[in-house]
Amino acid sequence: MDLTQIKKNVQVADDCIAVIAGISATSVKGVVNLSTGLTKNVIPFIETNNLKKGVQIIKGENGLDVNLSVTIKQGYDIEEVCTKVQEKIVEGLESMLSMNVNSVTVRVAGIDIPKNE
């Protein structure tokens, strides 16, 4: 069988796309968690299904639109962190899935302020 003759028909579930976006977002320094309340310290110990919560994927004819909420650690530049989150998500989705990303909207749901001990 000549593999060059096989028509490519790969479909990726929205949940899979959302997990990749969630992993990409939480890899950015200054991001404490997604809107789910999952912290970076907990994420390695949970199922990847939880990483998709709080991430909305909208598929269009020309690519993806991604919306998500994050909590940022106090002392970090919000605009800089959000820009890095956008870049990481685009990089992750385009490199892993070869999908065009039209937009990434990052909503800052809160600032993590450490409690005084």
pLDDT tens digits in sequence order for the chain, 117 residues long: 555 556 567 788 888 999 999 999 999 999 988 875 444 444 444 444 456 667 999 998 899 999 999 999 999 999 999 999 999 999 999 999 988 999 999 999 999 998 875
Instruction: Please say whether the beta carbons of 105 and 67 come within 8 A.
Output: yes
Give the alpha-carbon dihedral of 40, 45, 50, 54, to 10 degrees. Answer: -10
Domain limits, the chain: 11-112
CATH number, span 11-112: 3.30.70.1350
pLDDT at 89 (0 to 100): 97
